[in-house]
Amino acid sequence: MSDTTLPASDSGAAPREIAVELADVTFGYDRRTILTGISMTIPRGRVVAIMGGSGCGKTTILRLIGGQLKPRSGRVTVAGQSVPDLDREALYAMRRKFGMLFQFGALFTDMSVYENIAFALREHTELPEELVRDLVLMKLHAVGLRGAANLMPSELSGGMARRVALARAIALDPMLVMYDEPFAGLDPISLGVVGQLIRRLNDALGITSVVVTHDVYESLKIVDYMYFVSGGKIVAQGTPADVRRSGDAFVRQFVDGEPDGPVPFHYPASPYRSELFSRA
Amino acid sequence: MLSAVASGIIDGLRRLGGGSIAAIGRLGFASRFCVAVVRETPAAFARFHLTLREIYFSGVLSLIIILVSGLFVGMVLALQGYDVLQRYGADESLGVLVALSLVRELGPVVAGLLFASRAGSAITAEIGLMKATEQLSAMEMMAVDPLARVVAPRFWGGVISMPLLAALFSTMGVFGAYLVGVRLIDIDPGAFWGNMKAAVDFRYDIVNGIVKSVVFGLAVSMIAVFEGFDAKPTAEGVSTATTRTVVESSLAILALDFVLTVFMFRGLGV
């Protein structure tokens, strides 16, 4: 399948500063190749989705951007700095400008909601406790959970945990927030709330957001640009408007939720007939 | 037929080779992990409140099992010891027998085994679950090193707790032996305490016992944090890691005890 750039609908927009760039990135473990020839450009201030089925390598892209993995070849740059070339100190300094929301929140289970959000502030700043308290309450207010400050993570619903994780991700006012499956396992109300929060916080705080997800409907509502990944390659890309009117077979199967298509229903196997009758 | 045998042999050799490479790789990772944890020691002591919290979880919360076990071990030791000693008219040496057994061997070893089961397994499960729920990854992405923030305080919390627990175990054991020997069997308390005081040497017995418990603390704590950190991030992976901690710690304690005893008490008569 070829990399399809869907007909652009906002080509007249002024060029923006590049926040994240991947150029011809290849990654794999031992002999297994996960990603091949991935190239993407994420402008500052935009919400960009990386979409694809489970196990297609979406989360690996986030880990490459965050420096948790190093590519076999190609370039990963964030704010002009080559991430794989950073030493530990420089990588940690860069990560202080990142926020990340993990699939199920990854809240620290031995700390209250308040402590979870204060964690990064206390680790990386020398702020007085009163100021930390004000900042934590502001972040919690932004996600609508100021009243839940004293709850423990085990007392939160899935949607609330995701919102707390979101507040934690923006605690240090990052330049880039990465979301790993922010919509997975949420009820429709929480889904809408988290989606709107991603968009609103991105615009209000002037950050850049990379959303890895397979939830196409929610993404179409909030993102500026989408990349479709399948089999470790980018197979299509475009704005939500482009995606809606796309005739690309993969995009159509993904958007319409068709069970069979470019992504086959059946796992590769020997011919059905020969397998059934081979025992006779 | 011949080719089937040949392929079986090749398959076996391949598995042996694969297993050996995996084991050596794990050993290498474990060695690098140990060095990395020890390197983070200043972090654990610079923010001592984190280590103090782990001393509470590993040490204070293990107190009940250590104290009760120590009491019963001492009481049983007194009953069994008296049974043998009184046959030779040496029942007044009961205090000596119990104190030396506890201080040199049973205190560090049994406390170490209990510590591995109670605290070691809990440390592994906690770190393993933090890994499985991506809490360690989250910390890393927040530019906080999990080795410094999570692993090193737990390691040093265990190392500090272990000798204290062993000392309390021995103390409770001696008290249990006193209850049985003096209160129940009616051995002369002066002989019980006096013989004990005369026979137990601070440098030779007590210090060596403390050294043993420190070594066991280092071994159990390192195994516990390593197994947690190296656990597969699944429910099954965490349960396997917890089991491995208890088994490996127990074997390490017993093997190290033999080696230390040989050097400390000239167990082989050399």
Mean pLDDT over A143-154 rounds to 93
> What pLDDT, on the 0 to 100 scale, is given for residue A244?
85
Cα–Cα distance measured from residue A108 to residue B130, given in angstroms and rounded to the nearest whole number = 8
pLDDT of A90 reads: 93
The pTM assigned to this predicted structure is 0.86
Q: How confident is the model at residue A116 (pLDDT cuts 50, 70, 90)?
A: very high
* pLDDT tens readout for residues A8-26: 444 445 556 888 999 999 9
Chain B, nearest residue to A108 by Cα? B135
pLDDT digits (tens, 9 = 90+) for A160-171: 998 999 899 999
pLDDT in 10s for each residue of chain B, 270 residues = 678 888 899 999 999 999 999 999 999 999 999 999 999 999 889 989 999 999 999 999 999 999 999 999 999 999 999 999 999 999 889 999 999 999 999 999 999 999 999 999 999 999 999 999 999 999 999 999 999 999 999 999 999 999 999 999 999 999 999 999 999 999 999 999 999 999 999 999 999 999 999 999 999 999 999 999 999 999 999 999 999 999 999 999 999 999 999 988 865 454
Q: Which of B130, B141, B144 sits opposite A98 (nearest CB)?
A: B141
Determine, for residues B135 and A93 on separate chains, whether the beta-carbon distance falls below 8 Å. Answer: no
Summary mean pLDDT of chain A: 86
For the beta carbon of residue B132, count every other beta carbon within 10 angstroms. Answer: 16
In this prediction, residue A10 carries a pLDDT of 47
> Cβ contact (<8 Å) for A104 and B142?
no
Which residue among B138, B144, B145 places its CB closest to the CB of A106? B138
Asked if B133 and A120 come within 8 Å (Cβ–Cβ), the reply is no
Cβ(A60)–Cβ(A32) below 8 Å:
no
Q: How far apart are CA A107 and CA B223, in angstroms?
A: 26
Tell me what ipTM this predicted complex has.
0.81
Query: How close A258 comes to chain B (CA, Å)?
Result: 31
The values of phi and psi at residue A147, to 5°, are -75, -10
Give the pLDDT mean for A97-106.
89
Q: What pLDDT is stored for residue A253 in this prediction?
A: 82
- State the pairing for strand pair A47-51/A225-230: parallel
- Asked if residues A111 and A119 have their Cβ atoms less than 8 Å apart, the reply is yes
Q: What is the pLDDT of residue A192?
A: 86
With an 8 Å Cβ cutoff, are A124 and B134 in contact? no
Contacts of B234 in chain A (CB under 8 A): none
The alpha carbon torsion through A255, A260, A266, A270 (nearest 10 deg) reads -140
pLDDT tens track for A195-227? 998 999 899 988 999 999 888 888 888 999 999
Query: Does A255 have pLDDT greater than 80?
Result: no
H helical segments located in B40-151: 41-46, 48-58, 63-85, 94-100, 107-115, 121-132, 135-141, 146
Q: What is the pLDDT of residue A265?
A: 74
How far is residue B91's CA from residue A136's CA, in Å, rounded to a whole number? Answer: 68
Helix (H/G/I), strand (E/B), else coil: B90: coil
